[in-house]
Amino acid sequence: MKHIGAAAGVLFASSLVLTACSNADNAAGGGKGDSTSNYDMADVTGELTGEGASSQQNAMENVFAPAFSAAGSSLAYNSTGSGSGQTQFVAGQVDFAGSDSPLKDDQIAAAQKRCDDHPAWHLPMVIGPVAIAYNLDGVDSLNLDTKTIAKIFKGEIKKWNDKAIAAQNKGVELPDQDISVVYRSDESGTSDNFQKFLSASSGEWNSEGKAFPSKVGSGANGSTGVADQVAATPGAITYVESGFAKERKELGIANIDFGSGPVELSKETVNNALSAAQFSGKGNDLIVDSKALYSEKGKNQYPLVLTTYEIVCSAGYDQETAGLVKNFLYTILDNQNQSLEDAGYIPVDGQFKSKLEHAVKALS
């Protein structure tokens, strides 16, 4: 299957496009010949195209694309949402999809056809914790259990000083203020996973899918859109990847009680939850069992995370594209570090990382 790039200038006009370093930059320490990797990188350079989850945008822009560029290649990643990314990948318009949720059953056969009769694999390369972000003047710390969160987003709890919230925040002066719910208006893997989480953890949620119910609150497009809207709206609340919440000083991040007391979102508490992750995909198709993950109630575990996938062909690319895909995935694995954490993500390690390494090595 040939790499598709003829329309790249139009398709990626608004995307993140980072080009290869100049020869002068390479000489200063950025070129393929000067770069080091823990993996056997293919001897190929060029432009790789991807589309999908906005939850990956910060990681792509600030960590992975610069490292890929330093190795002599470039990335064009269009941050349009998981649904669009999956559609473009299945149609053969991009080399990989970034997605917060796996392909649906009716997409799997089409993806296999796109991959020259080879299965597509889901590789959870980017781990992004989801924050319950709020804008509440004077409230620097807020505890919410999963049932309360569900009732807020259903519109059953309408005031910040509701007794259900007050009971979990003794000594905190909660204002008599309306709660303004903000949700993703676009089809989103973040919405899909958040609804799966509410269903698995709260017993109060019956909706599912990439489209969030629009009966309560107001919508905004993309992770940046919801974070900006909550930052501009006193009394607002949303679900968003933690990196977008941490970038905005107006926003607080709630501690969530998953069943064993309030848990602060941190590298340690997320890794505690990831250590128990199970996989439902076969072989190197590493689909995380989200229901099991979101049902975790262990002490000091924060399981509300997006195990964000790169969806790729296990085989079936032309030789150049196969090498670029593999090099880029190795670049991601090489950069599970502090820079990634600073961008709002959780670096993978241990057995979880080992499974990813085995899968990438098996790509052909």
| Span between the terminal Cα atoms of the chain, in Å | 13
Confidence grade of residue 10 (pLDDT, cut at 50, 70, 90): very low
Residue 296 within any structural domain of the chain: no
Confidence grade of residue 114 (pLDDT, cut at 50, 70, 90): very high
- The pLDDT score that the predictor gives to residue 55 is 82
∠ CA(158), CA(161), CA(166), 5° rounding?
120
**50: containing domain:** 8-128+278-288+307-362
Residue 1 within any structural domain of the chain: no
Check pLDDT > 70 for residue 16. Answer: no
Average pLDDT over residues 4-19: 40
Residue 153 within any structural domain of the chain: yes
pLDDT > 90 fraction of the chain, expressed in percent and rounded: 73
Residue 312: CATH number of its domain: 3.40.190.10
- The pLDDT score that the predictor gives to residue 32 is 41
Q: What is the mean pLDDT of the chain?
A: 89
Q: Are 75 and 65 in contact (CB under 8 A)?
A: yes
345-363: per-residue pLDDT in tens? 999 887 889 999 999 999 9
- The pLDDT score that the predictor gives to residue 18 is 44
220-235: per-residue pLDDT in tens? 998 899 999 999 999 9
Tokens standing for residue 43: 């001897």
Residue 351 within any structural domain of the chain: yes
245-276: per-residue pLDDT in tens? 999 999 999 999 999 999 999 888 988 888 88
- The pLDDT score that the predictor gives to residue 34 is 45
Confidence grade of residue 15 (pLDDT, cut at 50, 70, 90): very low
Residue 294 within any structural domain of the chain: no
In the block, tokens 């320490």 appear at 29
- The pLDDT score that the predictor gives to residue 23 is 32
Q: Say yes or no: 138 and 266 in one domain.
A: yes
Confidence grade of residue 210 (pLDDT, cut at 50, 70, 90): confident
52-75: per-residue pLDDT in tens? 998 898 899 999 999 999 999 999
Residue that finishes a domain, picked among 227, 246, 272: 272
Residue 237 within any structural domain of the chain: yes
Q: Say yes or no: 114 and 229 in one domain.
A: no
Residue 30 within any structural domain of the chain: yes
pTM of the model: 0.75
Tokens standing for residue 48: 């790789």
Average pLDDT over residues 335-342: 93
Average pLDDT over residues 80-98: 95
Confidence grade of residue 13 (pLDDT, cut at 50, 70, 90): very low
CA 202, distance to chain mean position in Å, is 22
Residue that finishes a domain, picked among 272, 299, 315: 272
pLDDT > 70 fraction of the chain, expressed in percent and rounded: 90
Q: Which residue has the higher pLDDT, 351 or 295?
A: 295
118-154: per-residue pLDDT in tens? 999 999 999 989 999 999 999 999 999 999 999 999 9
Check pLDDT > 60 for residue 219. Answer: yes
Tokens standing for residue 20: 């290869």
Amino acid, single-letter form, for residue 300? N
Q: Say yes or no: 117 and 148 in one domain.
A: no
- The pLDDT score that the predictor gives to residue 90 is 98
Average pLDDT over residues 41-45: 95
Average pLDDT over residues 234-239: 98
- The pLDDT score that the predictor gives to residue 288 is 93
Overall number of domains in the chain: 2
Q: What is the dihedral of CA 108, 110, 111, 116, to 10 degrees?
A: 130
Torsion over CA: 321, 23, 51, 337 (sign): positive
Picking from 13, 14, 11, 30, the residue whose alpha carbon sits closest to that of residue 22 is 30
In the block, tokens 């989103």 appear at 188
Confidence grade of residue 35 (pLDDT, cut at 50, 70, 90): low
